[in-house]
A and B are shown apart, each in its own frame.
Chain A
Amino acid sequence: MASYKLDQSVRYAKSHEWARVDDDIVVVGISDYAQDALSDVVYIDLPEVGDTVTAGKQVSTVESVKAAEDVNAPISGEVIEVNTALEDTPEIVNERPYDAWFFKVKPTDKLDAELAALLAPADYEKFVAELE
């Protein structure tokens, strides 16, 4: 397995999404490990603005040359923005996985508990090491 990058400013789900708190919203994408395992990303079926999403439930699908994989919401809330740049340039997920966010969520009052349930970068690294 090729080495992958960790972002110290995010927390990770075991299903390989990352969540970054930015003021009062949460930005969501997929990890470098995930994009590498997927190989070249060709299409992302994004949620719609206004959708209500639930932590741990599927909200989006990322399609690569290899397979279609579910993307789960790491944090519950309402989708307030989706990254439309991914429609024409899905390859940025491979190139810059921690910049290529999928959607932004306005979280609920469960935010602190849901963040606590996600993995810190060091713990995600250990989790991935066990998968290998």
Chain B
Amino acid sequence: MLQRTPLYETHVAMGGRMVEFAGYELPVQYPAGPTAEHHAVRTAAGLFDIDHMGQFEIGGPDAEICLQQLQVWDLDQMAEGEAHYSVLCYDDGTVVDDIFLYKLHRRWLMIVNASNRAKDWAWIEHHLHGYDAALIERSDELAMLALQGPKAEQILQKLTSYPLVTVAPRTAVETQIGGLMVIAGRTGYTGEDGFELYVPVEGVVTFWRLLLDAGKEDGLLACGLAARDSLRFEASMPLYGHELSPQINPLEARLGWTMSWNKPFIGRDALLKVKLEKPARLLVGLEMVEKAVPREHYDVASDGQVIGHVTSGMKSPTLDKFLAMAYVPSAYSALGTRLDVIVRGQPKAAVVVKRPFYKPKYKV
């Protein structure tokens, strides 16, 4: 049985094209279409229902000690109200999930991928055993929206007296917005400035309408999963199940910047070994030299030999290029390396290029 978010009927009424994603029925696009929705986020703003994401709260006297162990980022560097991206690893260093952590007043909020919610819950519970820390499911009480784009702040400001200009990137505030007590994090998954909003479930349908009305004159569009994917892809953010999996470690995925080696965490020993020996394969960005759409699972070849595979690929709406992310042996990862992507049996020329394809435009 597929799950629905509280906005399901709203999406259908708006002409959203509903598809299955990670056990949820969600809009892949609205009538404007994925390309228009994508451009709206880059130039104005877009509103996303991302309530399929899991929202876990971790509290109790030992919460911070446990969380330090559970994930790779150093929590000592986080003040109350700050947020950070991090990774949960298995003992062998491969990825359980990639997460977002918010340090709230006397508790932590952990945002996990929808597809991993049950797995993460069990894994965290297991590791909390014996500690005075509580894992609380907040997904059913909090609805999660993302308002992204250069006009996100001015749109959201219409619904609150809180001076949003004071909310720095990767911080969060709890305040009244649109008559509801909302957690607003200056975070996102698009490469644009914007907010992720945690809204009481009972008010989210009205809140969604309020936001769309407030942003209408600014060009705000409701956006579906397709635009969410193309936006994160251009900003070269990994998507679990594509660039991350239990067969991939974060160093291969170029997430070394998230790892704090000066503290213990699960998987540290295995990953330190990988770091010293250098990863055998690496995530690279590919740009097609010959026109073709590289898609997930397509083979990547060098001199006729298959050496890797595409994890995500598409025609980039912003850059107007055919781009891919792929895992290849490290020897083939240098910028400028010529490779082929096998498209319907035909090798199509590609070249290793810098990631991110699109440089994120965050406020500083």
Contacts and interface: CB of A to CB of B under 8 A. Distances in A.
B226 A2 contact: no
B31 A2 contact: yes
B222 to A, nearest CB: 16
Interface residues of B, dominant DSSP? mixed
A40 B315 CA distance: 11
A131 B33 CA distance: 23
B360 to A, nearest CB: 22
Given A61-B344, A68-B293, A39 B315 contact: no
Given A65-B226, A65-B230, A39 B291 contact: no
Given A39-B226, A43-B322, A68-B344, A63 B293 contact: yes
A132 to B, nearest CB: 14
B35 interface: yes
A91 interface: yes
B139 to A, nearest CB: 28
Interface string A18-50: 000000000000000000000110110100000
Contacts of B264: none
Nearest to B314: A65
A86 B117 CA distance: 43
Contact of B29 (A39, A42, A63, A68): A39
A72 interface: no
Contacts of B28: 39, 66
Interface string A102-117: 0000000000000000
B226 A94 contact: no
B351 to A, nearest CB: 18
Interface residues of A, dominant DSSP? mixed
Contacts of B344: 61, 68
Nearest to A66: B226
Interface string B325-354: 000000000000000000010000000000
Given A2-B15, A61-B344, A66-B226, A39 B31 contact: no
B295 A39 contact: no
Contacts of B34: 39-40, 65
Interface centre among A43, A63, A65 (most CB of B within 10 A): A65
B292 interface: yes
Contact of B291 (A40, A43, A91, A94): A43
Contacts of B35: 40, 42, 65, 91
Interface residues of B, number: 18
Contacts of A43: 291-293, 315, 322
Interface residues of A, number: 14
A2 B226 CA distance: 18
B15 A42 contact: no
B318 to A, nearest CB: 13
Interface string B31-49: 1011100000000000000
Contacts of B17: 39
A2 B30 CA distance: 11
B314 A42 contact: yes
A87 B292 CA distance: 11
Nearest to A87: B291
Contacts of B293: 42-43, 63, 68
Interface in B220-245: 226, 230
Contacts of A94: 33
A45 B322 CA distance: 14
Nearest to A65: B34
Contacts of B314: 42, 65
B323 to A, nearest CB: 12
Interface of B: 15, 17, 28-29, 31, 33-35, 226, 230, 291-293, 295, 314-315, 322, 344
The 4 A-B residue pairs with the shortest CB-CB distance, nearest first, are A42-B315, A63-B293, A40-B35, A65-B34
18 contacts: A2-B15, A2-B31, A39-B28, A39-B29, A40-B33, A42-B293, A42-B315, A43-B291, A45-B292, A61-B344, A63-B293, A63-B315, A65-B230, A65-B314, A66-B226, A68-B293, A68-B295, A68-B344
